[in-house]
Amino acid sequence: MGDRWWGCLYDESRRRKMLAVPDFDKVNEVLKKDDWNEYRILCEGRRVQLWINGYQTIDYTEPDKSIRQQGVIGLQIHGGPPSEASYRNIRIKELKRPFQPKPIQQAQ
């Protein structure tokens, strides 16, 4: 979350680099600054998909088969200037196999 970070996929602990970056002009069309946003994260195997307010920002499949597929889920805020992050209505749902995602409307 944050300018030039919304909708990105960042690998912090291992490679310390962006794995995928969205079209920020399109993200800004759907982003509600200073309001609540719906951030959806779907991880299935090596595939990670991200949405903000129904707009898919990332559809990334990890090509490196040595990357671990398990870990900890956590919410955090990074160092830097004073800032605040708030979260609400968090749900974590285990996927049943085979998973078929529901179509999500893309921003125009």
Per-residue pLDDT of the chain (108 residues; tens, 9 = 90+): 777 889 999 887 788 889 999 999 999 999 999 899 999 999 988 999 999 999 999 999 999 999 888 888 888 777 778 888 889 999 999 887 765 656 655 555
Task: Report the predicted TM-score, pTM, of the whole model to 2 decimal places.
Answer: 0.81
Cα–Cα distance, 54 to 105 (Å, whole number) = 6
Domain segments of the chain as ranges: 1-94
Strands (DSSP E) along 25-98, which ranges?
A: 39-44, 47-52, 55-61
Residue 29 Rama label (left phi>0; alpha psi -120 to 50; beta): alpha
Run of H or E residues at 25: helix 24-30
- Asked if 82 and 68 count as a contact pair (C-beta separation under 8 A), the reply is no
